[in-house]
Structure 1
Amino acid sequence: MKDLKVIFMGTPEFSVNVLNSLIRNTNVIAVVTKPDKLVGRKQVLTESAVKKVALENNIKLIQSTKIRNEYQSVIDLNTDIIITCAYGQFLPKEILDYPKYGCINVHASLLPKLRGGAPIHRAIIDGYTTTGITIMYMGQKMDNGDIISQKSIEIEKTDNVGTLHDKLSLLGAELLIETLPNIISGQINRIVQNEEEVTFGYNISREDEHIDFNKTKIEVLNKIRGLNPWPSSYAILDNVEIKIYEAIIGEDIYKEKSNGEIVKVYKDGIVIKVSDGEIILKTIKPSGNKKMSVKDYLNGYKEKNNLIGKVFR
């Protein structure tokens, strides 16, 4: 496949394994990614993970704010195929229609489940036990194109969005290279997505990051796992935002306590009542502080018992 001319479109770290695999196995003639953006409190202008790989490999780079209006530079390259992975923009019909082998997307879910920009987060938050990778033809609507191939992976109870992200990134690169020869030869069975089975993995909003302790312990734990390590979940205690990274489920039930109330404090855990039991916080980050274990947090808290009865909002 080294003579296959490929234009790759992607932006975040998730795309890097796919791009590197294409560089090893095909002729990547250009990389299209989003413009550099300001990141963090200091607003440092930062290159995308994909741009860094393109520069390291001396590959032609196109950075487009709106590919719908800036597609001519892509078409002029006369590529055989366009492959996208977490690119974050819809492609216009002018691009979709021109490559010989079409426009192919690597998506981090088992479509038609979890269409959208945050399928890995949502798979954990929504309590899925399996997810996977879909190689698909691109359409003009969000993740609605015909399925070419899929491979599933179990979501382990110890997974968070970080670990699952890394597993799926590797799986996506592997499945794409397995699938490309069949795309080129035309030996594929296009599967039209069943619209009745569609679910969505929409991007995470600030509101999504807030923990509602009126939920069940499984729902609360899944949200914490599904947002760890980024963007992280949070709750408010004494008007201070506390980011929550790790927790475990406890056994006790407190019928007379309020949801969100701190009911116990161990040397390495803060126990919070939820609708059907308790959640024990293990790793947190109070606003203005570094990420720390609850044990370290409590070591700096003079009167630990004063926490009991306070309520997370």
Structure 2
Amino acid sequence: MKDLKVVFMGTPDFSVNVLHHLIAQTNVIGVVTKPDKLVGRKQVLTQSPVKKVALENGIQVIQPIKIREEYQNILDLNPDVIITCAYGQFLPKEILDYPKYGCINVHASLLPKLRGGAPIHKAIIYGYPTTGITIMYMGQKMDNGDIISQKSIAIEETDNVGTLHDKLSILGADLLMETLPAIISGQSNQIVQNEEEVTFAYNISREEEHIDFNKTKIEVFNQIRGLNPWPVANTILDEEEIKIYEAVIGEDLYAEQANGEIVKLYKDGIGVKVSDGEIILKTIKPAGKKKMSAKDYVNGWKEKNNLIGKVFR
């Protein structure tokens, strides 16, 4: 496939494995990614991970602010196929209709489940036992194109969004390279998505980051690991925001306590009442401080017992 002219569109770390595979096995003639952005407190102008890889390999980079209005220079590259992976903008019909092999997307869910920008987070938050990768033709609506191939992966209880992200990034690159020859030869099978089975995984909102201790143990557990290591679940204690990175499921006790109440201090955790028992917070980050173990946080209190009965909200 070394003579296959590819334009690749992607932005975050998740896209990098796909780009590396394409560079190794095809002729990547251009990379389209989001514009550089200001990052952090010092507002440092930062390139996307995909742009860095493209420049390291001497590949032309195009960074339209609005691709629906700025696409002619992409068409001028005359690609045989356009491949996208977490690019972040909807493509206009002029691009979708241009390449002879179409516009192919690598999506991190088993479509039609979890269309949208946060399928890895939401697969964990919603408690899915499995997720996977879908290779699909792009349509004019969000992730609604025909399915070409899929491969599933189990979501382990030890997974968080970071570990699952890395697994799916590898799986996505491998499945794309397995699928491309059939696309090029015209032997790929297209499956129209069943609209009755569609679910959505919109980008995480600020409200979704906040823990609702009125939920069940498994719901709170899945929320915490589904937001770790980014953007991270949070709660409030004594008017201070605390980020929660890790937790484990606790006992089916404490029926009389209020949801969100600290009910027990363990050697390595803080037991908090939820609707059907207890969730044990293990790794946290108080505002203005470094990430720490719950043990270190508790040891920082002069009177540890004063924590018992306090309520997260």
Name the TM tier (shorter chain): over 0.9
Question: Which residue identity does 1:113 align to in structure 2?
Answer: K
Partners of 2:41 and 2:212 in 1: how far apart?
A: 27
Q: Secondary structure at the match of 2:184?
A: helix
Structure 1 position 196 matched with structure 2 position 200 = no
Query: Alignment length, in residue pairs?
Result: 313
Partners of 2:248 and 2:126 in 1: how far apart?
A: 17
4+ runs deviating over 6 angstroms: none
Q: In the alignment, what sits opposite 1:294?
A: 294
Partners of 1:40 and 1:131 in 2: how far apart?
A: 32
Q: In the alignment, what sits opposite 2:211?
A: 211
Structure 1 position 148 matched with structure 2 position 148 = yes
Q: Structure 2 length as normaliser, TM-score?
A: 0.99
Partners of 1:252 and 1:308 in 2: how far apart?
A: 18
After superposition, residues 129-148 of structure 1 pair within 5 angstroms as 129-148=129-148
5+ long unaligned stretches in structure 1: none
Q: Deviations over 1:253-305 (max 9, x none)?
A: 11111000001112321110000000000000000000011112122221111
Q: In the alignment, what sits opposite 1:257?
A: 257
Structure 1 position 91 matched with structure 2 position 91 = yes
Residue 92 of structure 1 deviates from its aligned partner by 0.2
Asked if 2 retains the 8 angstrom alpha-carbon contact of 1:225 and 1:245, the reply is: yes
Asked if 2 retains the 8 angstrom alpha-carbon contact of 1:210 and 1:235, the reply is: yes
Q: Secondary structure at the match of 1:231?
A: coil
Partners of 1:44 and 1:4 in 2: how far apart?
A: 36
Q: Deviations over 1:222-275 (max 9, x none)?
A: 000000000000000000000000000111411111000001112321110000
Q: In the alignment, what sits opposite 1:236?
A: 236
CA RMSD, Structure 1 to Structure 2 (Å): 0.6
Q: In the alignment, what sits opposite 1:272?
A: 272
Structure 1 position 72 matched with structure 2 position 83 = no
- How much identity, in percent, do the aligned residues show? 83
Structure 1 position 168 matched with structure 2 position 168 = yes
Partners of 2:222 and 2:42 in 1: how far apart?
A: 32
Partners of 1:212 and 1:261 in 2: how far apart?
A: 12
Asked if 2 retains the 8 angstrom alpha-carbon contact of 1:268 and 1:298, the reply is: no
Partners of 2:152 and 2:249 in 1: how far apart?
A: 27
Residue 139 of structure 1 deviates from its aligned partner by 0.2
Q: In the alignment, what sits opposite 1:40?
A: 40
Asked if 2 retains the 8 angstrom alpha-carbon contact of 1:123 and 1:131, the reply is: yes
Structure 1 position 183 matched with structure 2 position 183 = yes
Question: Which residue identity does 2:173 align to in structure 1?
Answer: A
Q: In the alignment, what sits opposite 2:119?
A: 119
Q: Secondary structure at the match of 2:236?
A: strand
Q: Secondary structure at the match of 1:30?
A: strand
Q: Secondary structure at the match of 2:190?
A: coil
5+ long unaligned stretches in structure 2: none
Q: In the alignment, what sits opposite 2:248?
A: 248
Q: In the alignment, what sits opposite 1:24?
A: 24
Question: Which residue identity does 1:22 align to in structure 2?
Answer: L
Question: Which residue identity does 1:168 align to in structure 2?
Answer: L
Structure 1 position 61 matched with structure 2 position 61 = yes
State which drifts further: 293-302 or 81-90.
293-302
